[in-house]
Chain A
Amino acid sequence: MTGGVRRTTRTAARALALGLVLTLAAVLVPDSSVQPADYQLVRTESARGIDAADTIWILGIGSDAREGEARNRARGDAIQLVGINTRTGAATTIGIPRDSWVPIPGRGTNRVNAALYFGGPQLIGRTVGDMIGIQPDYVFVTGFGGFHRMVDAIGGIRVRSVHAFADSNLRPELYPNGFPRGEVRLDGEAAHIFVRIRKSLPDGDFDRSRNQQLALQGIHRRIHNQAHRPGFIERGVLSVMRNMHTDLSPAELYRLAQAVAQVDPGKLSACVVPGRTGMAGAASVVFADVATARRWGNEARESAVISRC
């Protein structure tokens, strides 16, 4: 564990990233009762702070469960370990290729994403924690259907795609040539495709993990920019309470949500654990560079910053 306040590994089913869920029930109606300032401003300064652990680590899992299936007993298609430093506003994301061949406590060696199937959020939390050297404080699990709906709920996101790539499921009227390189606007459906596609990407599973990070950053930017709207955080937390099983109290979810909202979009870093593809028996797997992963973990454990991937 990383220490600090209430740093137990609470691993009931939770969302891929709390920030995503915060928007589910949001009706973004500006409150006209707050009157605009009627004076000329010559100096403006602001102060921000949140009473939370100095560093919070959240493991976000995108389960491959289909609608109606148990999210917690499927396999994890998206695996992102997110660190937040509440003092500095920095955050970092470490992407783990889902086929990484790693020890799973009590289950021998297998693909990392199988840990969710074998032992639910607790076991995949321990597995990734052992791999990176940072045990997550929270594990959030969501299905891809939920991801789709949540992106739509916030009105879509913008990402800066590193690659141009296409997929047969993309609507041609919106993306006649697939996703272009550069800035792309994504609705929920397109975002879902953006984070799942790997075969048309030059670096396969690694590029997919990078795209997942781009999507998370795009979502966070939206959340960060909306958090000041009246009731936005409260509605998001209520959505978490209604749509997910969680053992966190509403007040603790609210505290966590405010911590997420205070992350500075300009202080984000993101890296994907490198590795080489190979065979483990009949299975095609990734032999992850665990030494690099742990080096990043050591650097980011308290700061939530990785200076260089």
Chain B
Amino acid sequence: MNGRTTPRRVRGRAGLAAALVLVLSLSACSSDDEPAPEPERPGAEETPSESVELVSRVGQVAGDLPQRQRRRTVTEVADVVDAWFEAAYVGGDLPRSHYDDAFPGFTRKAARLAGRSMDLMTNADIGPQIERIEVERRRVLVDMLSGNGRAAAATARIQLDFSTEGEVTGDFSVAGRLFLIRVGGDWRIIGFDVTKERS
């Protein structure tokens, strides 16, 4: 493993808001590479889920990429991924019925595709029936493709484990891969291969 660990404290919604602002303050792009609509920014005083450190690491790197670029890429990609974790699964007021803005950082077309699997790509299936979420693990490993000395594409291998309380009480795990490329200097999720499991 040639990576490093980047622990970050996710500070409830305040941290989410910062991440969302970062992720969504994007330059205008064209066609399907445009970002998905910005999600509603939650209030900072509420804590709908227990915090847990996000662990992000460099995974496999294809091509020459300086260590500084690798670290920067991991940070940027992790921010995009974590914004989705929050918007789709563990953020928002509970019980939660609306997941219309669950795909920050996705291209418009990728968001449309993800929207066809709302029960998997979000917590839309259980959101109205849960009152509390405790996040147990957030993990992102980032494989990178170097092009012209910078990261041109990345695969985020993700894992998000959380437990719920309420009418639906249980342990859940979201895992798989997100595919990202740079669009206008910012990372965009262009594809996904994700599982959601309930134990």
Name A residues whose Cβ lies closer than 8 Å to a Cβ of B.
5, 25, 31-34, 37, 39-52, 228, 230-231, 233-235, 237-238, 241, 249-251, 254-255, 258, 262
Contact = CB atoms under 8 A, between A and B. Distances in A.
B87 to A, nearest CB: 16
A5 B147 contact: no
9 contacts: A37-B173, A48-B192, A51-B107, A52-B191, A231-B155, A234-B145, A251-B147, A251-B182, A254-B153
Given A49-B114, A51-B32, A235-B60, A39 B190 contact: no
Contacts of A241: 63, 147
Contact of A51 (B109, B120, B148): B109
Contact of A34 (B63, B141, B173, B194): B141
Ranked nearest first, the 9 interchain pairs of A and B with the lowest CB-CB distance are: A231-B60, A250-B147, A49-B113, A47-B117, A254-B153, A50-B191, A234-B62, A39-B199, A250-B152
Contacts of B113: 49-51
B179 A5 contact: no
A5 B199 contact: no
A31 B63 CA distance: 18
B31 A5 contact: yes
A230 B61 CA distance: 9
Contacts, number: 146
Contact of B141 (A31, A48, A258): A31
A89 B120 CA distance: 19
In this complex, the interface size class of chain B, counting residues with CB under 8 Å from chain A, is 35 or more
Given A233-B155, A255-B153, 7 more contacts: A37-B173, A47-B196, A230-B141, A230-B143, A234-B153, A238-B62, A255-B179
A254 B198 contact: no
A49 B63 CA distance: 26
A46 B176 contact: yes
Contacts of A237: 62, 145, 153
Interface of B: 1, 3, 31-33, 57, 59-63, 107, 109-110, 113-114, 116-117, 119-121, 141, 143-148, 152-153, 155, 157, 159, 171, 173, 175-177, 179, 181-182, 190-199
Contacts of A46: 120, 176, 193-196
Contacts of A238: 62-63, 145-146
Nearest to A254: B153
A40 B107 contact: no
B104 to A, nearest CB: 15
Given A31-B60, A230-B60, A258-B179, A250 B114 contact: no
B69 to A, nearest CB: 14
A45 B62 CA distance: 30
Contacts of B190: 50-52, 255, 258
Most A C-beta atoms less than 10 A away, residue of B60, B145, B152: B145
Contact of B198 (A43, A49, A258, A262): A43
B152 A254 contact: yes
A45 B120 contact: yes
Contact of B62 (A42, A51, A231): A231
Nearest to B1: A33
A149 to B, nearest CB: 18
Nearest to A29: B60
A226 to B, nearest CB: 13
A230 B59 contact: yes
B147 A235 contact: no
B198 A33 contact: no
Contacts of B63: 234, 238, 241
Contacts of B141: 31, 33-34, 230
Nearest to B5: A33
Given A234-B144, A251-B152, A42 B198 contact: yes
A44 B197 contact: yes
A241 B152 CA distance: 12
B60 A234 contact: yes
A51 B103 CA distance: 14
B43 to A, nearest CB: 30
